[in-house]
A and B are shown apart, each in its own frame.
Chain A
Amino acid sequence: MSATTLPISNGATAGTAMSTARTRNAYFTEIKFECLRALRAPAFSIPFLLLPLVLYVLFGILLAGNMSHGDSTVAKIMFVNWAVFGVMGPGMFGFGIFVANEREQGLLTLKRALPMPNGASLLAKLVMVTLFAAIVMLTLIAAAVAMGHPGLSFGQYVGIALLDIAGSLPFGAIGLFIGTRASSKGAPAFANLAYLPFMHLGGLFYPLPKSVQPLEFISPAFYLDKLGLRMVNAPSLDVLSKIQGASSAGGPLLYVAVLAIVTLLFTALAIRRLARVG
């Protein structure tokens, strides 16, 4: 053992109280390393950062651009819809898989035994999800601007970016809930079970047939998409395609309320589960 210069232990002396600055530093450090580990996990970061960009350029700009003959309404819809798709993944999979892994591998238990500040781990993951959503939005906006696509104003780009970054939270809450219930092997499957229907029922890629439209309401993507389209003054795909009985009921307040309720409900269920079983 090498010579020591500092005592390793505080011995039995009374512990020092945690200062506000140190508590703040603990939250900041947790957030910093949560983001760092997610960015360093290629299996997570590459699909969720690159896939939305590639798919948007391929289908939203090149393919839809050709088919719509430069119709700016279609371009706006494509941008809004692919942005919603882009922020769904980090939320559902980032939370879901990471939490399931940490729970199963004992890391959450260790952190509960250690004096981790209350909610630091949850807050860190929340910030990680919004950081990924922000990166996705930046790449999509960069692609849109570079290819002169939807022709949105600066304010509209900022508005959509902020909306979708905040809009990643309900998906994060659902992912968190899945992560607290499923095993690490089961979490990706359960996340997909929610992710794929949400994506398709959100009406992001094609106008939904009338028979399926009643199911749109179960998808948070549907509400987020409606809010985004409203922000850029564009109709949804089913309205654009003049499907009879297109579901455009409800206003922005209802959409925001639904997204907020989904976020709070699933977060509360997940926190309750974590508090009981860790």
Chain B
Amino acid sequence: MNCACLAELVGVKKSFGKVVALDGFDLEVRRGELLAVLGPNGAGKSTAISLMLGLRQPDAGTARLFEMPPLQIEARHRVGVMMQEVALASELKVREHIALIASYYPDPMPVEEVLRQTNTLALADRPYGKLSAGQKRQAQFALALCGRPSLLFLDEPTVGLDIQARTIMWATLRQLVHEGCSIVLTTHYLEEAEALADRVVVIAKGKTVASGTVREMRAIVGRKRISCATSLPANVISAWPGVQSVIRDRERLEITASDADSVVKRLVTSDSQFSGLEVRSAGLAEAFTELTQEVTA
């Protein structure tokens, strides 16, 4: 496979009864990128992923995986998958689960290597049914990696993980991308997408609302957040031009403004007690909220 696109959906339509899940939807996963697919519940994220994996067939349009139909087993030999809602056999040990899934691949990592690289050595000989929710996610992550995939689909991979486990998983994901692996990440943790993604696609109502780098997505939202300590009443500031919202948190105000420079200047001149100024660009969360609200409104 020489093209830059490892998986793609072209003009895909998919309905479930009267509910349109995807409506002329396009998506491509490029070589060596971490693509975050974001969207509110019911936006069509899971449907898009299931079409790419061949778990469902599109009503119209095309799904391709490594330039092959996704159902072709040769295409899936290069794919690792971590699903959100899956319960593995509780009687088998983590080590045995890895050995089983690794057996499906032509060139898997040795089981011990998988355990070591995913920091799951301590879980190796424990039955899957005895693991905590976070440990089960770690074990599932190990299964997703054991076949040494070129393309990894991760659905909410860090749900239930503690901070240390999440940090390790993030580091592993960065290493994978560094090695040339492509990753499709669906997550509700926007800070996760912000920290990891090379590219973000926002879906709402079965269509792509926006697509670009995290920086580009932030730029879509021109607002900034101003945080400061001031004696001025919130209702006075909220009436100023360029101010979109004001929230008081004890002695500090959190101001969202489309024209942050003017608001800051006015704060300085209006309040001699003004202090503790912090100005931040809008994050992915704000961009996501604004983009999806526009569509769902």
A249: interface (CB < 8 Å): no
Chain B at the A interface: mostly helix, strand, loop or mixed? loop
Q: Give the residues in chain B near A11, CB-CB below 8 Å.
A: 32, 150, 179-181
B38: interface (CB < 8 Å): no
Name 23 interchain pairs, CB-CB below 8 A, sorted by A.
Answer: A1-B119, A2-B119, A6-B110, A8-B175, A9-B148, A12-B6, A13-B180, A15-B74, A15-B78, A16-B106, A29-B99, A33-B99, A37-B91, A40-B92, A41-B91, A105-B85, A106-B86, A106-B87, A112-B54, A113-B83, A115-B73, A115-B105, A117-B104
Question: CB within 8 Å of B: which of A40-85?
Answer: 40-41
Are B99 and A8 touching (Cβ within 8 A)?
no
Please judge, given known A-B contacts A15-B78, A17-B106, A117-B104, whether A109 and B179 are in contact too, CB under 8 Å: no
Are A117 and B73 touching (Cβ within 8 A)?
yes
B201: interface (CB < 8 Å): no
Give 1 or 0 for each of B118-147: 1 = CB within 8 Å of chain A CB.
Answer: 010000000000000000000000000101
Q: With the chains together, A133 CA to B172 CA distance in Å?
A: 45
Q: Which B residues form the contact surface with A (CB < 8 A)?
A: 1, 6, 31-32, 53-55, 66, 73-74, 76-79, 81, 83, 85-89, 91-92, 96, 99-101, 103-107, 109-110, 113, 116-117, 119, 145, 147-150, 152-153, 168, 171-172, 175-176, 179-182
Q: Give the residues in chain A near B180, CB-CB below 8 Å.
A: 9, 11-13
Are A30 and B100 touching (Cβ within 8 A)?
yes
Q: Which A residues form the contact surface with B (CB < 8 A)?
A: 1-2, 4-19, 22, 25-26, 29-30, 33, 36-37, 40-41, 101, 105-107, 109-110, 112-118, 278
Q: With the chains together, A11 CA to B6 CA distance in Å?
A: 11
Q: With the chains together, A196 CA to B162 CA distance in Å?
A: 49
Task: Tell me the nearest residue of chain A to B173, going by C-beta.
Answer: A8
B54 to chain A, nearest CB (A): 8
Q: With the chains together, A25 CA to B106 CA distance in Å?
A: 11
Q: CB within 8 A of B88: which of A10, A30, A36, A107?
A: A107
Are A8 and B145 touching (Cβ within 8 A)?
yes
Q: Give the residues in chain A near B152, CB-CB below 8 Å.
A: 9
Please judge, given known A-B contacts A18-B77, A110-B83, whether A29 and B100 are in contact too, CB under 8 Å: yes
Q: With the chains together, A124 CA to B105 CA distance in Å?
A: 18
Please judge, given known A-B contacts A1-B172, A15-B77, A26-B104, whether A6 and B113 are in contact too, CB under 8 Å: yes
Instruction: List the 3 shortest-distance A-B pairs measured between CB atoms, nearest first.
Output: A11-B180, A9-B181, A105-B87
Known: A9-B179, A117-B73. 17 other contacts (CB 8 A): A1-B168, A4-B175, A5-B113, A9-B180, A10-B149, A16-B106, A19-B106, A26-B103, A29-B99, A33-B96, A37-B92, A40-B91, A105-B85, A106-B83, A113-B83, A114-B147, A115-B77
Are A113 and B79 touching (Cβ within 8 A)?
yes
Q: Give the residues in chain A near B92, CB-CB below 8 Å.
A: 33, 36-37, 40
Q: With the chains together, A163 CA to B92 CA distance in Å?
A: 31
